[in-house]
């Protein structure tokens, strides 16, 4: 081959790689296979995060300080033998897997991600390779097995596990906490720790699966590398080929914004934590995880619960940017959701029962900005259906949909079972929808606008480059 043809071949290969690449971790599958694997998760848009473990016993309180959560062992510097005593106090007799699954489904959530193991190393399941598990507590019931069965029975909801790479308990995990003076690192073997972690993951995938997602975390310490992440990603996919894995499996996450620094990094989706990106990122999947109050794990004093309005608007905001919302509950040591969470899940569910169609299976907004709220969209026969999420109901009854050149076909309120037509008029490059005086929903009223043809709006959303770096 001469130099030109080599260059031509290289170009062709690069083009093929780009076309066939599923953005993250290209080699393993075609774009079509990647899309098929992620389809249910992209359609779901809304999931329940559950942080539950031994830290529910102290409930956020240690030595007179009350601002702890699932990090209590690290933040309060609790020595291992002292923390281990929580084992004998973990007896969540009110735990009812069917009831948890029922509440998640009633809230409109399509998947549950629960901590099989958090940073403290405690396994919420019956692990053959660890004594630091639920079988070492008076409860002696395999919580994850019960949840797996409850999800299977209920249907329409997928069970997923959060599994921490960082482990403050296993003797082979490194590094030690810098305040830990009583646990010498001598003799610790990180490769042996990886074998242990893989053994637990195999238990989880083969005995509780098929799972929806494996959600890794605690990947940021200097012992973990992108190479380990790629190996772990392949290992997990090898055990269940259609499983979805977050980007914290690798070592490329950039801070709390949660996107990987490189599109070849291991992992299927980005993980913004407690934050919603300014815009979506075309071609990148992501999920914002967020607490309802200020802690992931149960804290009996933490009453800083977000209003339902805030969470519903966040859900619409996230969907309008093409992301998922993973909303957290921290159950008590008795095994129940805090009443404030129960109430909020119920109210979110009431909205979803009416408006879920505007969230599930939708695509991101075609508009750059909407002064009164957000939008999502879906393809329909011969055109597009826009879901206009109206946060601020116009006082003059005129909803301005700016910069849209498609012909309107029909508009109606999603809450109106009769789908009575709202009148739509064109005014220059805007469509004006005439609305009733009162908003059907004080938090987010959804107006459906069907238009003809391929969506044609004035300004395409511009991705914020800073988010992908």
Binding mask 404-443 for ligand H79 (x = CB under 6 A): ----------------------------------------
Q: How far apart are CA 294 and CA 289, in angstroms?
A: 13
Quickly tell me which residue has 């473990």 as its tokens.
53
Task: Give Cβ neighbours of residue 428 (< 8 Å, ≥ 6 apart).
Answer: none
| Complex with ligand H79: residue 53 or 108, whichever CB lies closer | 53
Task: Out of 167, 203, 217, 285, point to the residue binding ligand H79 (CB under 6 A).
Answer: 217
Contact between 329 and ligand H79 per CB under 6 A: no
| Complex with ligand H79: residue 91 or 261, whichever CB lies closer | 261
Q: Which of residues 355-384 bind ligand H79 (CB under 6 A)?
A: none
Task: Out of 255, 283, 307, 453, point to the residue binding ligand H79 (CB under 6 A).
Answer: 255
Q: How far is the CB of 326 from ligand H79 (least distance, A)?
A: 9
| Complex with ligand H79: residue 260 or 375, whichever CB lies closer | 260
Contact between 220 and ligand H79 per CB under 6 A: yes
Picking from 214, 199, 283, the residue whose alpha carbon sits closest to that of residue 22 is 283
Task: Give Cβ neighbours of residue 38 (< 8 Å, ≥ 6 apart).
Answer: 244, 268, 269, 285
Q: Packing angle between helix 143-154 and helix 190-208, nearest 10 degrees?
A: 40
Contact between 177 and ligand H79 per CB under 6 A: no
Q: State the alpha helices, DSSP H only, in 240-377.
A: 308-320, 339-355
- Cis peptide leading into 245, omega within 30 of 0? no
Task: Out of 243, 244, 289, 319, point to the residue binding ligand H79 (CB under 6 A).
Answer: 289
Phi-psi region of 218 (alpha: psi -120 to 50; beta: other; left: phi over 0): left
Binding mask 16-55 for ligand H79 (x = CB under 6 A): -----------------------------------x----
Quickly tell me which residue has 């996919």 as its tokens.
237
SS3 at position 421? coil
13 — phi, psi (to 5°)?
A: -65, -40
Task: Report DSSP state, residue 307.
Answer: P
| Complex with ligand H79: residue 291 or 332, whichever CB lies closer | 291
- Which residue has the closest beta carbon to ligand H79? 220
Contact between 256 and ligand H79 per CB under 6 A: yes
Binding mask 51-70 for ligand H79 (x = CB under 6 A): x------------------x
270: β partners? 286
Contact between 287 and ligand H79 per CB under 6 A: no
What does the binding site for ligand H79 look like in residue numbers (CB under 6 A)?
Answer: 51, 70-71, 217, 220, 255-256, 273, 289, 296
């Amino acid at each position: 081959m001469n130099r030109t043809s080599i260059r031509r071949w290289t170009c062709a290969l690069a083009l093929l790689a780009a076309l066939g690449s599923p953005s993250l971790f290209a080699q393993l599958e075609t774009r079509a296979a990647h899309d098929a694997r992620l389809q249910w998760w992209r359609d779901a848009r809304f999931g329940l995060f559950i942080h539950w473990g031994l830290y529910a016993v102290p409930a956020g309180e240690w030595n007179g300080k009350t601002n702890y959560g699932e990090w209590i062992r690290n933040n309060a510097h609790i020595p291992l033998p002292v923390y281990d005593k929580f084992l004998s106090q973990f007896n969540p007799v009110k735990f009812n897997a069917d009831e948890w699954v029922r509440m998640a489904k009633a809230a409109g959530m399509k998947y549950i991600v629960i901590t099989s193991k958090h940073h403290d190393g405690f396994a919420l399941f019956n692990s053959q390779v660890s004594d630091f598990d639920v079988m070492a507590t008076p409860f002696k019931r395999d919580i994850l097995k019960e949840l797996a069965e409850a999800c299977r029975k209920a249907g329409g909801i997928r069970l997923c596990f959060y599994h921490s790479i960082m482990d403050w308990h296993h003797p082979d995990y490194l590094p030690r906490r810098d305040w830990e003076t009583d646990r010498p690192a001598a003799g610790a073997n990180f490769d042996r720790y990886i074998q242990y972690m893989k053994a637990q993951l195999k238990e989880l995938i083969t005995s509780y699966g098929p799972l929806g997602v494996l959600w890794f975390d605690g990947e940021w310490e200097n012992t973990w590398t992108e190479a380990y992440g790629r190996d772990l990603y392949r290992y997990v996919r090898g055990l269940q080929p259609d499983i979805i894995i977050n980007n914290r499996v690798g070592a490329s996450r950039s801070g709390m914004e949660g996107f990987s620094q490189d599109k070849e990094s291991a992992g299927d989706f980005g993980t913004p934590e407690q934050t919603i990106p300014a815009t979506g990122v075309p071609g990148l999947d992501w999920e914002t995880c967020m607490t309802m109050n200020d802690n992931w794990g149960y804290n009996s004093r933490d009453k800083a619960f977000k209003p339902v309005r805030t969470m519903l608007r966040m859900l619409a905001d996230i969907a309008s940017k093409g992301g998922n919302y993973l909303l957290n509950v921290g159950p008590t040591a008795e095994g129940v959701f805090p009443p404030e969470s129960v109430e909020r899940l119920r109210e979110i569910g009431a909205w979803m029962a009416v408006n879920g169609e505007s969230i599930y299976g939708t695509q991101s907004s075609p508009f750059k900005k909407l002064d009164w709220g957000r939008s999502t969209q879906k393809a329909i026969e011969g055109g597009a259906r826009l879901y206009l999420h109206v946060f601020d109901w116009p006082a003059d009854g005129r909803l301005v949909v700016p910069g849209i050149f498609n012909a309107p076909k029909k508009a109606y309120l999603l809450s109106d079972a009769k789908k009575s037509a709202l009148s739509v008029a064109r005014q220059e490059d805007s469509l004006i929808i005439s609305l009733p005086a009162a908003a059907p929903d004080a938090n987010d009223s959804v107006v459906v606008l069907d238009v003809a043809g391929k969506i044609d709006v004035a300004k395409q959303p511009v991705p914020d480059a800073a988010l992908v770096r």
